């Protein structure tokens, strides 16, 4: 979301006595939540108690199950990283919530297993990533960023070993290079990984398991810096809204809704007057007719 608040570079980071203000502690999903819909951000991170959420989504269960299976695949000794290990890996951490019934859940399990089998066939079992579900954290003048990258690979680059950010995707629609290029989350992971591992990290990849495709982008120093500035702008907007509310401003005005197609999939649709018009989705709608 484009920022609407006037900004100045340095003074805005200083308190009335010249002391730096606290850094904004954030993850990519926290920043993304505000960028998608400030009202949803408020429901998730500001309002206490948190407004009631809808029931769990089957597609989130599916995504979590697949991510955990891949994490545990890499936790195996290299000589046991074989497709035959996948059924028990997937079964042991399968998340059951949100499905319509046992038949749908069983069919989705089989689909997920096929995705995983096809995907691990493209991997070198002997290759150890730099990190799997690895938290990377770093600071800017505005942000204290931390995030958990699905995988960080080590690959040969023009100037020696480089880090590569890998993000698994399990949604229905495919992804392209523009998705990888435009992702603030991936850029922030790359930017943080450079600092954590002290090596170049410019390449970011979205691995879409349902289609077995990889959408990639090679960042530059400038494009990473641009994404960091974007994240800082979002953080400043959030801090300004939170400060205004603390000073007595109307929370509804400071965290406006951004109704649209996301509302049907929003956990807070039932709590949000702006989302009431959005067509309701069943918790299992997104996994229906998978495969």
**What residue ranges bind ligand SF4 (CB under 6 A)?**
37, 39-40, 43, 257-259, 262-263, 266, 268-269, 272, 274-275
Q: For residues 204 and 186, give the distance between their C-alpha atoms in angstroms, rounded to a whole number.
A: 6
Instruction: Give the long-range contacts of residues 86-95, CB within 8 A, separation 24 or more.
Output: 86/113, 86/116, 86/117, 86/120, 87/113, 90/65, 90/66, 90/116, 93/65, 93/68, 93/69, 94/65, 95/60, 95/61, 95/62, 95/64, 95/65
| Least distance CB 204 / ligand SF4 (angstroms) | 26
Token representation of residue 282: 């069943």
| Least distance CB 195 / ligand SF4 (angstroms) | 33
For residue 165, which phi and psi values (nearest 5 degrees)?
-85, 125
CB nearer ligand SF4, residue 46 or residue 69: 46
| Least distance CB 42 / ligand SF4 (angstroms) | 8
Q: Are 255 and 46 in contact (CB under 8 A)?
A: yes
| Least distance CB 146 / ligand SF4 (angstroms) | 25
Give the CA count within 13 Å in the CB-facing half-sphere of 141. 12
Q: Which residue is nearest to ligand SF4 (CB)?
A: 275
Q: For residues 149 and 151, give the distance between their C-alpha atoms in angstroms, rounded to a whole number.
A: 5
CB nearer ligand SF4, residue 18 or residue 49: 49
CB nearer ligand SF4, residue 241 or residue 266: 266
CB nearer ligand SF4, residue 129 or residue 275: 275
| Least distance CB 269 / ligand SF4 (angstroms) | 4
| Least distance CB 237 / ligand SF4 (angstroms) | 16
CB nearer ligand SF4, residue 140 or residue 285: 285
| E strands present in the chain | 24-26, 131-139, 143-157, 160-169, 203-208, 213-218
CB nearer ligand SF4, residue 1 or residue 249: 1
| Least distance CB 256 / ligand SF4 (angstroms) | 9
CA dihedral of 152, 156, 161, 164, whole degrees rounded to 10:
-20
Token representation of residue 74: 């890499």
CB nearer ligand SF4, residue 129 or residue 257: 257
């Amino acid at each position: 979301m484009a920022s609407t608040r006037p900004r100045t570079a340095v003074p805005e980071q200083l308190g009335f006595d010249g002391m730096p203000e606290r850094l904004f502690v954030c993850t990519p999903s926290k920043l993304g939540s505000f960028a998608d819909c400030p009202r949803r951000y408020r429901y998730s991170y500001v309002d206490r108690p948190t407004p009631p959420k809808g029931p769990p989504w089957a597609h989130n269960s599916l995504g979590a199950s697949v991510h955990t299976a891949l994490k545990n695949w890499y936790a195996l000794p290299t000589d046991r990283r074989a497709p035959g290990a996948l059924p028990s890996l997937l079964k042991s951490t399968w998340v059951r919530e949100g499905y319509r019934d046992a038949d749908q859940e069983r069919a989705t399990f089989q689909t997920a297993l096929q995705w995983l089998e096809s995907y691990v066939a493209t991997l070198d079992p002997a290759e150890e990533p730099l990190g799997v579900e690895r938290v990377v954290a770093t600071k800017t003048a505005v942000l204290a960023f931390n995030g958990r990258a699905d995988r960080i690979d080590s690959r040969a680059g023009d100037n020696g070993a480089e880090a590569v950010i890998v993000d698994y995707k399990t949604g229905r629609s495919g992804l392209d290079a523009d998705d990888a290029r435009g992702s603030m989350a991936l850029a922030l992971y790359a930017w943080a990984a450079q600092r954590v591992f002290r090596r170049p990290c410019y390449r970011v990849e979205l691995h879409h398991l349902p289609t077995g495709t990889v959408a990639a982008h090679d960042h530059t120093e400038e494009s990473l810096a641009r994404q960091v500035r974007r994240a800082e702008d979002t953080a400043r907007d959030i801090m300004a809204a939170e400060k205004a509310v603390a000073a007595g401003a109307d929370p509804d005005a400071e965290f406006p809704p951004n109704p649209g197609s996301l509302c049907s999939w929003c956990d807070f649709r039932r709590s949000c007057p702006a989302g009431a018009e959005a067509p309701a989705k069943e918790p299992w709608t997104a996994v229906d007719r998978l495969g």
